[in-house]
Amino acid sequence: MLSIIQLSDDGKSQELEAMSIDDLISGDLLTSQKLWIDLTTEDHEIIKRLLTELNIDHLAIEDTLRKSHPSKIEFFDEHLFILYRGIRAIEDDISFQHQSIGLIVKDNILVTVHPVKSVGVEQSKKALRKLKHISPMTVAIQIMKAASSVYLEKLLNFDTQLSEIEEQLENNANDQQLKELTKFKSRLVKLTRTFNYHTDISEGLHKESDEYAYFDKAACEHAINDLDDRFQRLFTLAQMHYDICGDLIDGYLSISAHQLNETMRVLTVITAVFVPLSFLAGLYGMNFDYIPELKVENGYFYLLAIMLSLSTGLVYWFKRKRWL
């Protein structure tokens, strides 16, 4: 699906009537208006044709068509290319369905390419009227900010959920909580990797000079700073939550190991107490014809006294050693 939005500084940006790629290329829209061309399709031929007609570098086209590629930013002579990890759908907690979004800024045109509808793109279309000094670059930044806002909201909500799990571990730890923490840790390491690539994008925008005609850094400086702050915060939050999950898992395993050690210590003490008693019982329970002690008057009571003394002595000794 091809969507074309005419950008305007007076808050009157509007979506134009549907048209084909041929009509777009053959007309004068590309040279006379500030446009946002949003292409939503999985058809590589359509994507390649549009970008080729716009004289986009073949390396940028190849990266856009790749199904899985890390986020990146690259400045070409004629255009800026950003490959951003956008949100396809929100599942639950901190679980997202991602998709790569190609953002290309060239002169007065922004081109966005993605296989299915994107949360950040759709929110940015609704927010166009609130933007000041609209340009293809500021809209591209707005798309990344919109997606980062969704990420940030979910991570902040997860902070509360993580605190609840921490309290549950203190009161009544169980294996189900361990499974949840392991699941969260796996998701967070993926998000951390994604946000790390995103910080490279904002840092790239910061470092680049104004030598390119399509990139007015001065006009976008505040928006770039805000975007960089968001990306840095997302990366820090994801890393922090990952570390907390790891600490909680380690703590749970340590508590479980300690409880197991306590159980094994009690069983060992019980075994140590009953081993000599079992030995005596086995010794005098053997079926020999002649065992002298069996003829001793009150031998049974003597044996009971010895066994009681042994068990009492062992329990007393274990308590002195603080094993009980």
What confidence tens digit (pLDDT) does each residue in 281-298 have?
Answer: 888 788 777 778 777 778
Helix ranges, the chain (H)? 21-26, 29-32, 44-53, 58-65, 119-126, 136-172, 175-207, 217-283, 299-320
Asked if 284 and 303 touch (Cβ cutoff 8 Å), the reply is: yes
**Nearest to 147, CA basis, from 211, 236, 85:** 85
- Global pTM value: 0.76
Which tokens sit at 149? 């806002």
**Any idea which fold 259-320 has?**
Methane Monooxygenase Hydroxylase; Chain G, domain 1 (1.20.58)
Torsion angle defined by CA atoms of residues 279, 282, 288 and 290, in that order, rounded to the nearest 10 degrees: 50
Instruction: Please report the pLDDT score of residue 286 as a whole number.
Output: 82
Query: For residues 112 and 110, what is the distance between their CA atoms, to the nearest angstrom?
Result: 7
Q: Is 2-255 in CATH node 3.30.460.20? A: yes
Which tokens sit at 224? 């770039």
Instruction: Please report the pLDDT score of residue 31 as a whole number.
Output: 64
Which tokens sit at 43? 């058809």
Domain ranges of the chain: 2-255, 259-320
User: pLDDT (tens digit, 9 = 90+) per residue, 256-289?
Assistant: 887 888 888 888 888 888 888 888 888 878 877 7
User: pLDDT (tens digit, 9 = 90+) per residue, 12-49?
Assistant: 777 777 777 777 677 666 666 788 888 888 888 888 88
> Does 213 have pLDDT greater than 60?
no
User: pLDDT (tens digit, 9 = 90+) per residue, 154-170?
Assistant: 888 888 888 888 887 77
